[in-house]
Structure 1
Amino acid sequence: MAELRPIAPAFVVPGPSGVAVRDRLKHLAPADDEVLRLVGAHLGALASADLKTRCADGLEHSTGTWAARKRELTAHSSARWAGAITKASHDQWALARRGQDDHIRDLQAAIAMITCRLSLPVGKKGTRKEPGGYRSAREWFAKSRRLHLLQDRLQRRRADQQAGRVRVVRGGKRLARARHHLEAAGLTEAEWRQSWEAERWFLTADGESGKRYGNETIRITPDGQVSIKLPAPLAHHANAPHGRYVLACRVAFAHRRNEWADRIEANRAVAYRIHLDAARDRWYITASWQILAAPAVPMPTALAYGVIGVDTNADHLAAWRLDTHGNPIGNPRRFPYDLSGNAEHRDAQVRHALTRLLHWARACGVNAIAIEDLDFQAEKTREKHGRRKRFRRLISGMPTSRLRARLTSMADQSGIAIIAADPAYTSKWGAQHWQKPLTTKTRTTTRHDAAAVAIGRRAQGHPIRRRTAPPPAHQSDEQGHRTIQAGPQALGREGPRPRIPGPRTRSVPPGRGANAGDRNAQHRSERSAEHVQLMLSP
């Protein structure tokens, strides 16, 4: 029998530490649009040059080199614009560095897997824990060539890592590659050029506590007036004192407006980012600020009114409500989403599905949602799953990180706790113990619905299986209660069934009526010892 891996305990996911809200800049004047484009292009060129300098410094970066870069940028913009640009360059370099480390680990894992399988005889069967040999000599030869390719790639990545070299594309690698495949991307050269330039613009200003309305560079007043501190070379476009340009439009953040208004009236830091959606030709502004993470809710408090187990899939969320004893209540729910299309469409689909899930949880009166603690970063490589292309596409399409981040942020405002449970064997054991019992003539229970029940039970601390085995000595309740649907602390768990009101008939089913708890009132071939003793007594 294969040894099972240990199951990690469930935990309450901590709340978000930041907030971001967005609004559209409507009714912009032609002069406003021109100024935004000029400022974005000018600061974007400075950001590109600064990122190039930062990548060239590599591991030699120091406080002195950062100060020199900032002084050079200040002469062409302002001190605050220069600080925002250098900070963005540092963050971009650090992100590329982390991605480089992850890529090296993936290459090492792939090389180790291929080396192991090449050392085995061709056609040897594998097990759950150990891989087998390749199926044919042709596949063995192809994998030996791929091994040399991965080793050469790993050597180059290690050399870049030691030298501090990273590869970054401002504007995005996907959009850069689309330039050579315009027909497949559905773009013309002019449309691509407009999107490329818009992605490389820079209109981001960090907040600063103690300053007026929390930001001196991009300022928004409580009544929604937006003004921008122009860089020094563009100061002649100012229409307000102190080199500022006031836009003709007004903004009103519909989501979290009160929180945003409280922060700017208290002069607390709020960061802003202005960006252009080139496809729609619309300007947007995003406000973001940090918040203190709410203290984690104790597990017993979160599970006081049951839980909703959610199974994450590539195209839908399967959910089922469970009571405090781990029993499914009602019918399962399914919340579909479509992850095809661009990133904004995928994100909107995930938000819509999570919104319906949270609305259902509030309607049920449940304070907790249990999800799987999924992480497919090391589980979707072609070397691990081989020819299982369909399964690789399935796990690659699951929005695990995006869904968990979105759900945590949205649930924090709803007062619903998110519980992360270990995903080990939930689909397999859920289908084994729950799919058939929950299937009726009017309800077809899928494997995903059964997995949702398993996830919810694991979050509650219950075993996934429905019933424990009888005692080994004899089949009685002497050694403890057989079932695990109710714990010993549940009152009345072994008492008679409640009497169902209504007219009595000649055929009363067992376990009902006034004698439901009397063993001698049942149809049994034997009498209890107490009843026999009473009959023999004079």
Structure 2
Amino acid sequence: MARQRRKRVLRAIAPPFTVAAPSGARIRDRLRVDVADEQVLTLVGQHLGRHQRADLAERVAVGLVPVKDNRRAERKKKLTAVSSSRWAGAMTRVSEDQYQLSMRCLYDERAGLRRAIGQIALRLAVPCGERKGKVRGYQDRGERFQKQRRLQALKARLAMVEQRIATERPSVVVGGRRLAKIRHNLADARLTAGEWRKRWDAVRLFLTADGESGAPHGNYTITVDPADGSVTIVLPEPLRHLANAPRGRYRLACAVSFHHRRAEWLDRVTAHQAVRYDIVRDPVRGRWYLDASWSATKAILPSPQEIRAAGGRMLAVDMNADHLAACVLDPHGNPVGDPVTLPLELTGDVSRRDGKLRAAVTSLIKIARLRGCAGIVVENLGFTDARHTGRETMGCGGRGKAFRRAVAGIPTAKFRERLRGMACHQGLVVVAVDPAYTSRWGAQHWRAPLDDQSTTTVTRHHAAAVAIGRRGLGQRIRRRPGVTASDPRIGQRRATGQTVSAPRSCGTTSSPRTTGTPHEGGKTCWSRSDQLVLSPAPRTVRGAPGVRPLPPGPERVDPADTGQQRQEW
């Protein structure tokens, strides 16, 4: 007896959800400072940065304790003596945020190391070139030996991370660990010692002032006058001799005028609402910038069920390594119009890649608005497993390496954040769905129908976009059979209830019609028994050589009324 194949168990699919609107805004303008202003800003930033790093070291030594036990009031009092009360509040707040972020990174690193160690251990338990269930052993003894060495290295890293978590003291490098390591490899980074020092000193400056509601123009430490755009800052206590304005302040020789979202910024500063300012120096270009940020009111966005009930269209997007595949769906899950392909070539430096990503998001929003869509549906991708266990689960050799490199090059997090912020300002809702089986089921059920109704070339990525959109609308990916015919004449007639069948509840069926009841007009071909006549019309006998009328007879009665069988003449 043949052994029955075990049915494949599919993983649970998470329900779709609406991505939250941005919690704040951040804008930037250039500070065209002169030599004197640059010297003052450098001195203030170095002075505050030195004390902020000392405060961060004290916060790390305190450990992971409740908020009331982190000794912030004590540390703020010490910093006030060398700066000011508001500068001290900003420094202690930044230290607390940095410590909490570092602890979360330690927890994430521990989870990733455990996942990678477990996957390598599973493959090491299988002999070379063999397979045990779904686990495949390594190809040869050389690869197995290298994986054993990697396993030992991962275990050593895990032990170090576990120790830091146990002692509640993460390792924090102010300025970035990557830039710190470049100091030992200047030739590879194509930098000189002087250029590296400029970058290192620039990122370690501290010129951040938190906003305060009720303060002049929303911030007392760094104030921007909306009338003329003048910028003034409060100098720390040891540097008050550099002041050129009343009350120990320094006025910059330049002015700022925020062009992007200027109306929102003016509304806040004229109402004296809190606005945070950050002064940043770019050592590569030799420029200074002023960033303004504020928190926005929490908007209540509609859920996917509410969008579907309102009858809004959705633009479904499937993100790939080199392009975006999009398709518009109506409220019933039917694709409308031809699918769209947008190129996505993320090459060049960071700023160039970010600009290309913004251009692609702008094109998506333009398509959604032109076709009357209420929102955009995307996959909730993170590629967490690919980052930790990609070498063990995503192929091997040159082909696997190319595939992992392509997956790693997809900017899923940046794309989602850019889309969320830009779509919110255009009145569009972003819905995220579970990415499980969208490509496979979309190609299985929707590629052929899309190819029949579209005038452009349809790929499996367009079919995956349809699957993503239907899941975002809360519908099944699989098509109901026999609804949309493949015949071009019938395919033009779209079915509005294609995705959902609404059966009648018990007791709502239509009552039987009796003879003589007037017809409602819904049938195209009436039965002769629907009308009561005294003399029935003559019938013709099929198969006869000529037309032979039937002899007149008694009145014909519908057998449904008498319960008798119909008799043939």
Which category describes the TM-score, using the shorter chain as reference length?
0.7 to 0.9
Q: Secondary structure at the match of 1:88?
A: helix
Give the AA of the match of 1:365: G
| 1:323 matches 2:330 | yes
Structure 1 residues 169, 334: closer, same or farther in 2, change over 3 A? farther
Give the AA of the match of 1:447: R
Shift of 1:188: 3.1
Q: Secondary structure at the match of 1:439?
A: helix
> Which residue of structure 1 lines up, in the alignment, with residue 141 of structure 2?
137
Structure 1 residues 31, 383: closer, same or farther in 2, change over 3 A? same
Please tell me the root mean square deviation across aligned C-alpha atoms, in Å: 3.0
Q: 1:423 aligns with which of 410, 426, 435?
A: 435
| 1:38 matches 2:51 | no
Contact map agreement 1:170 1:200 (CA 8 A) in 2: yes
Structure 1 residues 10, 232: closer, same or farther in 2, change over 3 A? same
Structure 1 residues 428, 69: closer, same or farther in 2, change over 3 A? same
Larger Rg: 2
Structure 1 residues 340, 76: closer, same or farther in 2, change over 3 A? farther
| 1:366 matches 2:370 | no
Aligned-partner Cα distance in 1 for 2:323–2:35: 44
> Which residue of structure 2 lines up, in the alignment, with residue 163 of structure 1?
167
Shift of 1:263: 1.4
| 1:385 matches 2:394 | yes
Q: Secondary structure at the match of 1:87?
A: helix
Structure 1 residues 158, 298: closer, same or farther in 2, change over 3 A? closer
The more displaced of 242-251 and 395-404 is 395-404
Structure 1 residues 192, 335: closer, same or farther in 2, change over 3 A? farther
Aligned-partner Cα distance in 2 for 1:36–1:467: 67
Structure 1 residues 246, 187: closer, same or farther in 2, change over 3 A? same
> Which residue of structure 1 lines up, in the alignment, with residue 451 of structure 2?
439
> Which residue of structure 1 lines up, in the alignment, with residue 417 of structure 2?
405
- C-alpha deviations, 1:406-432, integer Å up to 9, x for none? 211211111111111111111112222
What is the TM-score with the length of structure 1 in the denominator? 0.84
> Which residue of structure 2 lines up, in the alignment, with residue 252 of structure 1?
257
Aligned-partner Cα distance in 2 for 1:529–1:176: 93
> Which residue of structure 2 lines up, in the alignment, with residue 18 of structure 1?
24
Contact map agreement 2:18 2:304 (CA 8 A) in 1: yes
- C-alpha deviations, 1:47-96, integer Å up to 9, x for none? 22222232233347864643332222222211111111111111111111
Contact map agreement 2:338 2:455 (CA 8 A) in 1: no
- C-alpha deviations, 1:4-55, integer Å up to 9, x for none? 22222212222121111122223x2322222222212222222222222322
Aligned-partner Cα distance in 2 for 1:23–1:205: 16
Aligned-partner Cα distance in 1 for 2:159–2:361: 43
Q: 1:87 aligns with which of 71, 90, 93?
A: 93
| 1:187 matches 2:191 | yes
Contact map agreement 1:469 1:482 (CA 8 A) in 2: no
Q: 2:294 aligns with which of 289, 293, 305?
A: 289
Aligned-partner Cα distance in 1 for 2:150–2:38: 52
Structure 1 residues 239, 316: closer, same or farther in 2, change over 3 A? farther
Q: How many residues align?
A: 494
The more displaced of 243-252 and 186-195 is 186-195
Contact map agreement 1:466 1:484 (CA 8 A) in 2: no
Q: Summarize the alignment of residues 258-297 of structure 1 with structure 2, pairs less than 5 Å apart.
A: 258-297=263-302
Shift of 1:132: 2.3
Q: 1:332 aligns with which of 339, 357, 363?
A: 339
Contact map agreement 1:209 1:268 (CA 8 A) in 2: yes
Give the AA of the match of 1:73: L
Q: Secondary structure at the match of 1:380?
A: helix
Q: 1:199 aligns with which of 195, 200, 203?
A: 203
The more displaced of 393-402 and 223-232 is 393-402
Structure 1 residues 338, 235: closer, same or farther in 2, change over 3 A? farther
Aligned-partner Cα distance in 2 for 1:356–1:164: 46
Aligned-partner Cα distance in 2 for 1:208–1:108: 44
Q: Secondary structure at the match of 2:136?
A: coil
The more displaced of 458-467 and 271-280 is 458-467
Contact map agreement 1:40 1:203 (CA 8 A) in 2: yes
Aligned-partner Cα distance in 1 for 2:528–2:349: 73
The more displaced of 404-413 and 342-351 is 342-351
Give the AA of the match of 1:405: E
Aligned-partner Cα distance in 2 for 1:237–1:173: 34
Contact map agreement 1:326 1:457 (CA 8 A) in 2: yes
Aligned-partner Cα distance in 1 for 2:99–2:155: 25
Contact map agreement 1:468 1:482 (CA 8 A) in 2: no
The more displaced of 152-161 and 431-440 is 431-440
Q: 2:476 aligns with which of 442, 458, 463?
A: 463
- C-alpha deviations, 1:474-495, integer Å up to 9, x for none? xxxxxxx9996365579xxxxx
Contact map agreement 1:22 1:253 (CA 8 A) in 2: yes
Contact map agreement 2:470 2:476 (CA 8 A) in 1: yes
Give the AA of the match of 2:451: T
Q: Summarize the alignment of residues 216-235 of structure 1 with structure 2, pairs less than 5 Å apart.
A: 216-223=220-227, 224-235=229-240
Contact map agreement 2:447 2:459 (CA 8 A) in 1: yes
| 1:178 matches 2:190 | no
Aligned-partner Cα distance in 1 for 2:254–2:539: 95
Aligned-partner Cα distance in 2 for 1:5–1:519: 50
Shift of 1:301: 4.6
| 1:375 matches 2:379 | no
What is the TM-score with the length of structure 2 in the denominator? 0.80
Contact map agreement 1:23 1:253 (CA 8 A) in 2: yes
Q: Summarize the alignment of residues 146-161 of structure 1 with structure 2, pairs less than 5 Å apart.
A: 146-161=150-165
Contact map agreement 1:467 1:484 (CA 8 A) in 2: no
Contact map agreement 2:332 2:496 (CA 8 A) in 1: no
Q: Secondary structure at the match of 1:308?
A: strand
Contact map agreement 2:480 2:499 (CA 8 A) in 1: no
Percent identity of equivalent pairs: 47
Q: Secondary structure at the match of 2:402?
A: helix
Structure 1 residues 60, 436: closer, same or farther in 2, change over 3 A? closer
| 1:312 matches 2:293 | no
Give the AA of the match of 2:135: P
Q: 1:123 aligns with which of 119, 129, 146?
A: 129
Shift of 1:529: 11
Structure 1 residues 337, 195: closer, same or farther in 2, change over 3 A? farther
Give the AA of the match of 1:293: K
* Gap regions ≥5 residues in structure 2: 1-6, 484-493, 504-522, 531-536, 541-549, 553-569
Structure 1 residues 112, 31: closer, same or farther in 2, change over 3 A? same
* Gap regions ≥5 residues in structure 1: 471-480, 491-516, 521-526
> Which residue of structure 1 lines up, in the alignment, with residue 83 of structure 2?
77
